[in-house]
């Protein structure tokens, strides 16, 4: 089967900066694909390469089997939801949504009908006459989505689509995007720096760092079995354990990772385990995050709310199951 | 800060004392007072010296001149405005308005790419160079520039020489042999007047257009392209509508400055008059102050309509 988007050794350099460096990538049709990474990691440049706003310095990009280098954005059946929505301020909502059809010379009645439908799809029916300036952030986001979807793109690109929304709205939109993608069957590629968002929405995640892909896999793969220290640390702030420490518990001299929720915190007197000292607590609502100092090694543990906590500065003993200690591929 | 220092610092500092301290406190408590003091001199200047003389001028236009004695008859009459409708005078008005409209149009066409480059691409040093390039001509005397143009456009000037070298002299001759726009040489034709007007007022068009384009987020152009619009469609549907307030703002300058100018058409152009020249000659040699005043009212009326239209297009948001 042809990939929806395929990168072969794609690089994009800006002068001496390697924004994207020899990236190989295959996105399956109908997939919800996330590009996750810190800012400056090259994920947005990858998105812009697919959209056609950037051209690769080397390597080849194909979209549904067709070579895309040198093809301008307006000839790609790919649409983008921009980070700050990029709605046209001089057009009302309906004309914004109908814009793509207007430039393709679809008749006025027909394109307005399609735009109305797209607006109901994003649950904004009847908002057509308003100006973008009169909408809230969440509504603008939906208009931007409708404006892209009305063109029935082969691939929909979303650049930090939920970044500017508040928490509650963001959670709603996550669910909505996910169900919309399922219903439409369009390939979604979305860029985010929020690991929670990537894990909860995507079928597969690519973790970016320094213009390279560190790991591609399902959310569970990425979360449970990070292949490098970077992935372990960036995705869900795992405890990264140095080889010496790992050797004591697994016998192998490798870097390891340990999820904060798999650490149990016990009283100092309660026998074997890692001796540590509690140095701080963060109350997070459903859970509490504990900062621990194990002989100079800073560890974090997450315990359910309501657990009886030792006092700050008190000595504790940490225990965990051997199988939850994950050994990483990265060489020592 | 130590806790001892924290305790010894008072929560409210004493006044700085003296006249200045008291005055500062007074202005802080009554900001309207400061505003009044700041606005009074300019309002007096504008209100009395500027608006006042404008009304004096308007009043003059309702007087008439005694054709035998040449004395001004200070009685209310619309006769002077009637004179304005004489074929010769109407001709002057029409000529000036046509010239102003053409100059405005040409300025917009020439200014747009320059402004677009400056707003979109020029950064750092190039941006500074752009501002310098646009503003520099404004630093030198207007008269010097016009006389320089007279030499450039003259029959013995560099333009004729250049066209001769390019074997394009026939083109110039063909143009000059046309009625209305032609003449003996560019420096004594309306074409020459037009070229110099466009040159002199161009900065006043470039700057507001640039300001308008500067405020168009770059991703709107990308969004348009992403949605399938070719560069031409993006220009028509996104860039131009968003730059329009800037173009209208610029056109206010180019249009009104052309309407009122009397030096350029006098030095470069034909012997046929523009409004500014008519005003100049009526109040000077002819001594017909009422007619000169009535002529002055024409650009004011035209500009009032123009500004009213421009306001409706949102031009003043771009200033």
CATH code, domain with A282: 2.40.50.140
In a domain, B15, yes or no: no
What mean pLDDT is predicted for residues A37-56?
93
Cβ distance B230 to A103 less than 8 Å, yes or no, reads yes
Residue of B215, B219, B220, B226 best to disrupt the A interface, most CBs of A under 10 A: B226
Q: Are residues A223 and A283 in the same domain?
A: no
In a domain, B226, yes or no: yes
Q: Are residues B254 and B106 in the same domain?
A: yes
- Percent of chain A at pLDDT > 70 equals 98
Q: Are residues B36 and B164 in the same domain?
A: no
Q: Are residues A140 and A257 in the same domain?
A: no
The C-alpha torsion from B1 through B2 and B4 to B10, rounded to 10°, is 10
- Percent of chain A at pLDDT > 90 equals 51
Residue B27 structural domain: 20-50
In a domain, B5, yes or no: no
In a domain, B33, yes or no: yes
Q: What is the DSSP letter of B162?
A: H
Q: Are residues A154 and A269 in the same domain?
A: no
pLDDT of residue B96: 94
Q: Which of A205, A233, A261 is the last residue of a domain?
A: A233
Q: Which of A206, A233, A260 is the last residue of a domain?
A: A233
Indicate the pLDDT class of residue A89, thresholds 50, 70 and 90. Answer: very high
In the predicted structure, residue A331 carries a pLDDT above the cut 80: no
pLDDT of residue A144: 94
In a domain, B73, yes or no: no
Q: In angstroms, what separates the C-alpha of A143 from chain B's closest C-alpha?
A: 13
Q: A164: domain CATH number?
A: 3.40.50.300
Q: Are A69 and A102 in contact (CB under 8 A)?
A: no
Task: Sort out which chain A residues have CB atoms less than 8 A from B237's CB and list them.
Answer: 99, 102-103
Instruction: Choose the most confident range, by mean pLDDT, from A228-237, A307-316, B261-270.
Output: B261-270
Q: Are residues A171 and A306 in the same domain?
A: no
Q: Are residues A69 and A127 in the same domain?
A: yes
User: A149-201 pLDDT, tens per residue?
Assistant: 999 999 999 998 887 788 888 888 888 899 999 999 999 999 999 888 899 89
B57 in reach of chain A (CB within 8 A): no
Read off the tokens for B132.
Answer: 């310098």
Residue A21 structural domain: 5-233
- How far is the C-alpha of A275 from the C-alpha of B128, rounded, in Å? 63
pLDDT of residue A320: 87
Cβ distance A72 to B225 less than 8 Å, yes or no, reads yes
In a domain, A332, yes or no: no
Cβ distance A74 to B225 less than 8 Å, yes or no, reads yes
pLDDT of residue B1: 52
Q: Are residues B95 and B232 in the same domain?
A: yes
Mean pLDDT per 10-residue section of chain B, whose length is 319 residues? 71 81 88 92 89 88 83 85 89 94 96 92 88 88 92 91 92 90 89 95 94 90 94 93 90 92 92 90 83 89 88 68
Q: State pTM to two decimals.
A: 0.80
As beta bridge partners, residue A26 has A6
Cβ distance A100 to B228 less than 8 Å, yes or no, reads yes
Q: Are residues B41 and B182 in the same domain?
A: no
Q: Are residues A13 and A73 in the same domain?
A: yes
User: A109-147 pLDDT, tens per residue?
Assistant: 999 999 999 999 888 998 999 999 999 888 999 999 999
In a domain, A123, yes or no: yes
Q: How many CB atoms lie within 10 A of CB A168?
A: 9
Cβ distance A104 to B228 less than 8 Å, yes or no, reads yes
Q: Are residues B43 and B105 in the same domain?
A: no
Q: Are residues B190 and B44 in the same domain?
A: no
Q: Are residues A298 and A205 in the same domain?
A: no
Cβ distance B229 to A80 less than 8 Å, yes or no, reads no
Q: Which of B10, B28, B50 is the last residue of a domain?
A: B50
Q: Are residues A96 and A124 in the same domain?
A: yes
In a domain, B62, yes or no: no
Output A273 or A226, whichever has higher pLDDT. Answer: A226
Cβ distance A88 to B220 less than 8 Å, yes or no, reads yes
Give the chain B residue nearest A88 (alpha carbons).
B220
Give the chain A residue nearest B218 (alpha carbons).
A86
Q: Are residues B46 and B148 in the same domain?
A: no
Mean pLDDT, all residues of chain A: 89
What is the 3-class SS of A206-257, one letter each residue? EEEECCEEEEEECHHHHHHCCCCHHHHHHCCCCEEECHHHHHHHHCCCCCEE
Which B residues, 217 through 276, put their C-beta within 8 Å of a C-beta on chain A? Answer: 217, 219-220, 222-230, 233, 237-238, 241-242
Rg (CA), chain B: 27
Q: Are residues B298 and B193 in the same domain?
A: yes
Q: Which of A233, A253, A284 is the last residue of a domain?
A: A233
Cβ distance A103 to B219 less than 8 Å, yes or no, reads no
What mean pLDDT is predicted for residues A234-252?
82
Q: In angstroms, what separates the C-alpha of B22 from chain A's closest C-alpha?
A: 45
Across the interface, which of B223, B228, B230 has its CB nearest the CB of A86?
A: B223
In a domain, B64, yes or no: no
Q: Are residues B28 and B131 in the same domain?
A: no
* ipTM metric: 0.84
- How far is the C-alpha of A245 from the C-alpha of A253, rounded, in Å? 8
Q: Are residues A190 and A76 in the same domain?
A: yes
pLDDT of residue B2: 61
Q: Are residues B278 and B135 in the same domain?
A: yes
Q: In angstroms, what separates the C-alpha of A158 from chain B's closest C-alpha?
A: 12
Give the chain A residue nearest B231 (alpha carbons).
A74
In the predicted structure, residue A100 carries a pLDDT above the cut 80: yes
Q: B252: domain CATH number?
A: 1.10.3720.10
Q: Are residues A118 and A211 in the same domain?
A: yes
In a domain, B24, yes or no: yes
What's the domain count of chain B?
2
Q: What is the enclosing helix (H) or strand (E) of B296?
A: helix B289-312
Cβ distance A88 to B228 less than 8 Å, yes or no, reads no
Q: Are residues A149 and A34 in the same domain?
A: yes
In a domain, A160, yes or no: yes
Taken in order B115, B117, B119, B123, the sign of the CA dihedral is negative
What's the domain count of chain A?
2
In a domain, A290, yes or no: yes
Q: Are residues A312 and A175 in the same domain?
A: no
Q: Are residues B201 and B300 in the same domain?
A: yes
- How far is the C-alpha of A143 from the C-alpha of B139, rounded, in Å? 49
Give the chain B residue nearest A73 (alpha carbons).
B226
- How far is the C-alpha of B149 from the C-alpha of B266, rounded, in Å? 13
SS3 content of chain B, % helix, strand, coil (to 5): 75, 0, 25
Q: Are residues B175 and B307 in the same domain?
A: yes
């Amino acid at each position: 089967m042809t990939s929806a988007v395929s990168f072969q050794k794609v690089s994009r350099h800006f002068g001496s900066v390697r924004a994207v460096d020899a990236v190989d990538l295959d996105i399956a049709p109908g997939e919800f694909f996330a590009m996750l990474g810190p800012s400056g990691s090259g994920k947005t440049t990858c998105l812009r390469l697919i959209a056609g706003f950037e051209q690769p310095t080397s390597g080849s990009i194909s979209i549904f089997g067709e070579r895309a280098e040198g093809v301008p954005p307006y000839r790609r059946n790919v649409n983008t939801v921009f980070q700050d929505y990029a709605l046209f301020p001089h057009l009302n909502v309906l004309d914004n949504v109908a814009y793509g059809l207007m430039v393709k010379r679809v008749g006025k009645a027909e394109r307005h009908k399609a735009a109305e439908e797209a607006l109901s799809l994003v649950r904004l029916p009847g908002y057509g006459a308003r100006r973008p300036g009169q909408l809230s952030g969440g509504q603008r986001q939906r208009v931007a989505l409708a404006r892209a979807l009305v063109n029935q793109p082969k691939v929909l690109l979303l650049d930090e689509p939920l970044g500017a929304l508040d928490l509650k709205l963001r959670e709603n939109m996550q669910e909505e995007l996910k169900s919309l993608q399922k219903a439409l069957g369009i390939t979604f590629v979305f860029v985010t720096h929020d690991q929670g968002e990537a894990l909860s929405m995507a079928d597969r995640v690519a973790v970016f760092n320094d213009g390279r892909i560190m790991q591609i896999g399902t959310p569970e793969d990425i979360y449970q079995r990070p292949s490098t220290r970077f992935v372990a640390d960036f995705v869900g702030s795992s405890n990264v354990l140095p080889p010496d420490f790992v050797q004591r518990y697994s016998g192998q001299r490798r870097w390891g990772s340990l999820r904060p929720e798999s650490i149990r915190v016990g009283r100092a007197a309660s026998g074997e385990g890692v001796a540590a000292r509690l140095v701080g607590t963060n109350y997070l609502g459903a859970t509490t995050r504990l900062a621990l100092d194990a002989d100079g090694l800073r560890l974090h543990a997450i315990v359910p709310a309501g657990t009886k906590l030792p006092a700050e500065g008190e000595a504790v003993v940490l225990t965990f199951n051997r199988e939850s200690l994950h050994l990483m591929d990265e060489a020592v | 800060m130590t806790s001892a220092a924290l305790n010894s610092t008072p929560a409210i500092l004493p006044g700085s004392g003296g006249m200045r301290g008291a005055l500062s406190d007074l202005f802080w408590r009554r900001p309207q007072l400061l505003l009044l003091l700041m606005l009074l001199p300019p309002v007096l200047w504008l209100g009395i010296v500027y608006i006042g003389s404008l009304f004096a001028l308007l009043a003059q236009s309702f007087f008439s001149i005694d054709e035998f004695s040449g004395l001004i008859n200070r009685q209310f009459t619309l006769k002077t405005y009637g004179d304005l409708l004489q074929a010769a005078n109407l001709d002057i008005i029409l000529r000036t308005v046509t010239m102003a409209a053409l100059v405005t149009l040409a300025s917009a066409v020439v200014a747009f790419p320059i402004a677009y480059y400056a707003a979109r691409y020029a950064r750092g040093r190039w941006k500074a160079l752009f501002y310098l390039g646009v503003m520099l001509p404004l630093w030198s005397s207007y008269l010097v520039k016009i006389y320089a143009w007279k030499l450039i456009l003259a029959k013995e000037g560099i333009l004729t020489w250049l066209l001769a070298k390019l074997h394009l002299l026939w083109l110039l001759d063909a143009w000059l042999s046309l009625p209305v726009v032609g003449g003996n040489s560019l420096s004594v034709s309306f074409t020459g007047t037009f070229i110099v007007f466009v040159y002199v007022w161009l900065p006043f068009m470039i700057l507001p257009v640039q300001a308008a384009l500067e405020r168009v987020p770059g991703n709107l152009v990308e969004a348009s392209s992403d949605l399938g619009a070719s560069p031409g469609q993006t220009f028509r549907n996104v860039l131009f509508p968003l730059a329009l307030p800037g173009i209208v703002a610029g056109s206010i300058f180019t249009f009104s400055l052309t309407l009122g100018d009397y030096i350029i058409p006098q030095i470069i152009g034909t012997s046929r008059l523009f409004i500014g020249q008519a005003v100049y000659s009526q109040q000077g040699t002819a001594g017909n102050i009422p007619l000169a005043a009535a002529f002055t009212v024409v650009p004011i009326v035209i500009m009032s309509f123009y500004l009213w239209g421009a306001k409706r297009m949102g031009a003043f948001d771009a200033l």
